[in-house]
Amino acid sequence: DIQLTQSPSTLSASVGDRVTITCRASQNIYSSLAWYQQKPGRAPKLLIYKASNLESGVPSTFSGSGFGTEFTLTVSSLQPDDFASYYCQQYNRYPWTFGQGTKVEIK
Amino acid sequence: EVHLVESGGDLVHPGGSRRLSCAASGFTFSFYEMNWIRQAPGQGLEWLANISISGSVTSYADSVKGRFTISRDNGKNSVFLQMNSLRAEDTAIYYCATGGDNGAYFQHWGQGTVVTVSS
Query: How far, in Å, CA of B117 to CA of B94, rounded?
Result: 13
Q: pLDDT at residue B103 above 90?
A: no
Residue B101: per-residue pLDDT: 84
Query: How far, in Å, CA of A90 to CA of A33, rounded?
Result: 5
In tens, the pLDDT along A16-70 reads 999 999 999 999 999 999 999 999 999 999 999 999 999 999 999 999 999 999 9
Residue A100: per-residue pLDDT: 98
What residue in B sits closest to A89 (Cα-Cα)?
Answer: B105
Using CB atoms, which residue from A38, A50, A98 is nearest to B103?
Answer: A50
Query: How far, in Å, CA of A46 to CA of A56, rounded?
Result: 9
Query: How far, in Å, CA of B38 to CA of B83, rounded?
Result: 13
- Tell the burial category of A91 from Cβ atoms under 10 Å away from its Cβ (0-12, 13-18, 19+): buried
Torsion angle, CA of B107/A18/A72/B95, rounded to 10 degrees? -30
Residue A34: per-residue pLDDT: 98
Written as one letter, the residue type at A84 is A
Distance from CA of B13 to the nearest CA of A (A): 25
Q: At A82, phi and psi to the nearest 5?
A: -90, -5
